[in-house]
């Protein structure tokens, strides 16, 4: 039991170290802007007073490391400072949108994870069947098609063709849950189609690897029933890789959401990030990048830790 | 050479389809001015013409010929993706091979740096850097190449480490051969097949990545014809499509044509890569 704790602790430490380095990189981005931010934003004709006021407002007078720590402390409590472009508090701009983004990613995960795990298992059990081959071919399509291609095909069929779902996923705070689920169905389907094939393929590979091991063959040879071999012998060992697959794909979803939000004009964090990049609104870009990167890193960390904990070999050390 | 010919003869249908697709795109890209009926960014008619002669795929919002822009798009999008992949590959393979061959502190530093770069999702990282550098073609190529070289680094390092444990390397080292001789004469020839396959995969990734950025309006900038950008420009048209006549239905296809062009090339490259991987793994069905 001790060894597993130390492994988890070590992984946790590496994850947090990575997160810290990433915050440094993201913070350093604003420093790498060519020239002085104040003159850049206010123009060459700005008076000395307005420059000083600008520096005061964006807290540019203090030394670099002090600003980093106050930025980090603010970010940890959800206060990201103010936007360069329109001088409004960033938390106000992105608060609701971040929630929207997580809602969409969670929605897509809730659809894709059960389908992927079940059909991945089926494909592994009926290895070489028509279903299995169909799945292999669909993976090719999923890795080859750009996200917006899938999105526009869905729009053309289900929105323009049949008129079942809206092509714009326009939600606000007052939208009820049921309506929200309906409006965001097409974006969620797009995300599902993007990760589904990949997730199924990884689940299938994990189980196939397992079924090829000698102890499974031994169980078969002992005459144990097929479902019992799978449920009692294979599943506990398959849990770790499957959890890993799910968490990795959730991390992927969080990023894939950016393009899908833009296609469906969904008011999410990805949309904000893209707008901020084109306006070169660095402080907003930093906040959005930090949220995306931190979620991504934490999900990867979670994947590793869960798969360490779910590994029966580590739970019963010799 | 004879060996290659034999392998080509035995190539499965899927590989041939892939090679035909890639060849088709290559010919279109190289001979773009010959095939395109109109200039790349010249306004040649009324806006949003339906699919009739002389504009077989209609015109866009500025009255530019869509067919011509698709053809020039092959040259621009594929060209930039190819340049980026080549740069990413050079960076990744050189550092990966060096890290494996030199080992020690160099390996540790390079590997940790790559770990950190890979901990941030590439799209997010690229957006962060492009905010600072602005969206020029050079910035685009360098940023994506550096981000993408991390995966090449990992692969080439792993492959090279596998090769470096072989006896013939030990013999060469004892003969007193230098570092670059080892890499060039012993490691590279043996690492070629997986690296070639990786080049194809990286190209697909970079190609989709650049298209995605252009689609977001942060990649290749207009008036340069580019497929991701064309999807973005024609996206609104899709809601005007209606299926009563085929002429109006083509509006729905406006964003799908460039997006489909992207998808088809990626499929083609993937089919070829599958075949190369299959050959290099030594599996025969």
Residue B35 sits at the vertex; the CA angle it makes with B34 and B38, to the nearest 5 degrees, is 90
pLDDT at residue B88 in the model: 93
β-partners of residue B55 are B52
Cβ pair A285, A2 in contact under 8 A: no
Q: Where are the alpha helices (DSSP H) in chain A?
A: 2-31, 37-42, 48-57, 64-76, 90-125, 130-144, 147-154, 177-183, 185-211, 214-221, 226-228, 235-263, 269-279, 282-309, 312-315
Cβ pair B124, A293 in contact under 8 A: yes
Q: What is the CATH number of the domain that holds A135?
A: 1.10.3720.10
| Alpha-carbon span A308 to A8, nearest angstrom | 7
Give the A window 109-168 contacts with B, CB below 8 Å. Answer: 140-141, 143-149, 152-153, 155-156, 159-161, 167
**B228 found inside a domain:** yes
**B61 found inside a domain:** no
Cβ pair B121, A296 in contact under 8 A: yes
Cβ pair A241, A223 in contact under 8 A: no
Confidence of residue B285 (pLDDT cuts 50, 70, 90): very low
Q: What are the tokens at A180?
A: 């929200």
Residue A72 CB coordination number (10 Å): 14
**B268 found inside a domain:** no
**B280 found inside a domain:** no
Contact B121 A18 (CB under 8 A): no
pLDDT at residue A1 in the model: 55
**B19 found inside a domain:** no
Task: Give the model confidence (pLDDT) of B89-123 as tens digits.
Answer: 999 988 988 888 887 888 888 888 888 888 888 88
A212 in B contact zone (CB under 8 Å): no
Contact B238 A297 (CB under 8 A): no
**A50 found inside a domain:** no
Q: How many CA atoms lie within 13 A of B278 on its CB side?
A: 14
**A43 found inside a domain:** no
Structure-derived torsion over alpha carbons of residues B267, B137, A262, A164, reported in degrees to the nearest 10: -40
Contact A285 B266 (CB under 8 A): no
Query: Which one-letter DSSP state was computed for residue B187?
Result: I
Instruction: Check pLDDT > 60 for residue B229.
Output: yes
**A116 found inside a domain:** yes
Cβ pair A238, A291 in contact under 8 A: no
Peptide bond into B54 cis (omega under 30): yes
> Which of A28, A31, A149, A287 best tests the B interface by mutation, with the highest count of B CBs <10 A?
A149
**B282 found inside a domain:** no
Contact B131 A282 (CB under 8 A): yes
**A60 found inside a domain:** no
Residues with Cβ within 8 Å of B136's Cβ and at least 6 positions away in sequence, in order, are none
Give the A window 168-207 contacts with B, CB below 8 Å. Answer: none
Q: Pick from B127, B204, B231: which is nearest to A277 by CB?
A: B127
**A51 found inside a domain:** no
**A55 found inside a domain:** no
Q: How far is CA A312 from CA A209, A236, B9, B39, in A?
A: 16, 7, 49, 65
The candidate with the shortest Cα–Cα distance to A185, out of A148, A160, A145, A158, is A158
Q: What is the CATH number of the domain that holds B142?
A: 1.10.3720.10
Contact A146 B242 (CB under 8 A): no
pLDDT at residue B91 in the model: 92
Q: How far is A225 from chain B (nearest CA, A)?
A: 32
**A230 found inside a domain:** yes
B239 in A contact zone (CB under 8 Å): yes
Residues of the domain holding A118: 90-315
Chain B residues with CB inside 8 Å of A304's CB? none
Cβ pair B155, B99 in contact under 8 A: no
Please count the structural domains in chain B: 1
Residue A199 CB coordination number (10 Å): 29
Residues of the domain holding B116: 78-236
Cβ pair A22, B116 in contact under 8 A: yes
Peptide bond into A116 cis (omega under 30): no
Mark the ranges of chain A whose per-residue pLDDT is less than 70: 1-2, 33-44, 59, 312-318
| Alpha-carbon span B107 to B92, nearest angstrom | 13
pLDDT at residue A117 in the model: 84
**A216 found inside a domain:** yes
Contact A153 B263 (CB under 8 A): no
Please count the structural domains in chain A: 1
Q: How far is CA B209 from CA B119, B250, B275, in A?
A: 17, 27, 24
């Amino acid at each position: 039991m001790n060894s597993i704790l130390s492994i988890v602790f070590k992984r946790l430490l590496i994850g947090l170290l990575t997160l810290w380095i990433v915050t440094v990189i993201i913070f350093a981005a604003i420093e790498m802007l060519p020239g002085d931010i104040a003159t850049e934003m206010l123009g060459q004709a700005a008076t000395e007073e307005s420059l000083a006021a600008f520096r005061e407002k964006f807290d540019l007078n203090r030394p670099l490391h002090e600003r980093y720590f106050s930025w980090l402390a603010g970010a940890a409590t959800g206060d990201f400072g103010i936007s360069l472009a329109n001088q409004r508090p960033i938390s106000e701009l992105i608060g609701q949108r971040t929630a929207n983004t997580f809602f969409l990613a969670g929605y897509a995960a809730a659809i894709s994870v059960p389908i992927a795990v079940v059909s991945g298992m089926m494909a592994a059990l009926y290895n070489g069947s028509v279903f299995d081959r169909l799945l292999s071919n669909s993976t090719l399509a999923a890795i080859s098609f750009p996200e917006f291609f899938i999105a526009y095909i869905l729009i053309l069929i289900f929105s323009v063709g049949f008129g079942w779902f809206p092509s714009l996923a326009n939600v606000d705070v007052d939208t009820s849950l049921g309506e929200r689920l309906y409006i965001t169905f097409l974006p969620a389907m797009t995300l599902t189609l993007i990760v589904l094939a990949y997730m199924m393929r990884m689940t299938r590979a994990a189980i196939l690897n397992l079924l090829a091991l000698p102890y499974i063959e031994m169980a078969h040879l002992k005459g144990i029933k097929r479902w019992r071999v799978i449920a009692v012998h294979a599943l506990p060992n398959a849990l770790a890789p499957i959890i890993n697959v799910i968490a990795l794909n959730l991390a992927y979803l969080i990023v894939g959401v950016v393009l899908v939000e833009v296609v469906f004009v969904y008011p999410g964090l990805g949309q904000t990030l893209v707008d901020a990049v084109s306006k070169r609104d660095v402080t907003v870009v930093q906040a959005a990048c930090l949220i995306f990167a931190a979620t991504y890193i934490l999900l990867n960390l979670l994947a590793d830790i869960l798969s360490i904990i779910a590994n029966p070999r580590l739970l019963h050390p010799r | 050479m004879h060996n290659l010919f034999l392998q080509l003869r035995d190539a499965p249908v899927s590989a041939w389809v892939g090679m035909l697709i890639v060849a088709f795109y290559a010919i279109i890209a190289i001979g773009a001015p010959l095939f395109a009926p109109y200039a790349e960014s010249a306004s040649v008619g009324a806006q949003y013409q339906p699919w009739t002669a002389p504009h077989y795929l209609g015109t866009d919002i500025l009255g530019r010929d869509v067919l011509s822009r698709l053809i020039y798009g092959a040259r621009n999008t594929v060209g930039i993706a190819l340049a980026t992949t080549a740069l990413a590959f050079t960076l990744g393979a050189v550092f990966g091979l060096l890290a494996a061959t030199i080992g020690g502190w160099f390996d540790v530093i390079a590997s940790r740096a790559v770990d950190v770069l890979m901990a941030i999702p590439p799209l997010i990282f690229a957006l962060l850097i492009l905010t600072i550098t602005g969206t020029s073609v050079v910035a685009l190529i360098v940023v994506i190449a550096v981000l993408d070289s991390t995966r090449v680094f990992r692969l080439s390092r792993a492959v090279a480490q596998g090769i470096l444990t072989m006896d013939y390397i030990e013999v060469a080292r004892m003969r007193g051969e230098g570092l670059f001789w080892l890499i060039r004469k012993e490691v590279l020839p043996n690492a070629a097949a997986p690296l070639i396959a990786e080049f194809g995969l990286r190209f697909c990734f970079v190609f989709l990545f650049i298209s995605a950025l252009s689609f977001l309006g942060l990649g290749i900038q207009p008036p340069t014809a580019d497929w991701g950008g064309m999807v973005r420009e024609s996206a609104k048209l899709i809601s005007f499509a209606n299926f009563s006549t085929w002429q109006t239905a083509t509006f729905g296809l406006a964003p799908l044509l460039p997006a489909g062009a992207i998808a088809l090339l990626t499929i083609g490259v993937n089919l070829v890569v599958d075949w190369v991987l299959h050959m290099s793994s030594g599996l025969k069905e």
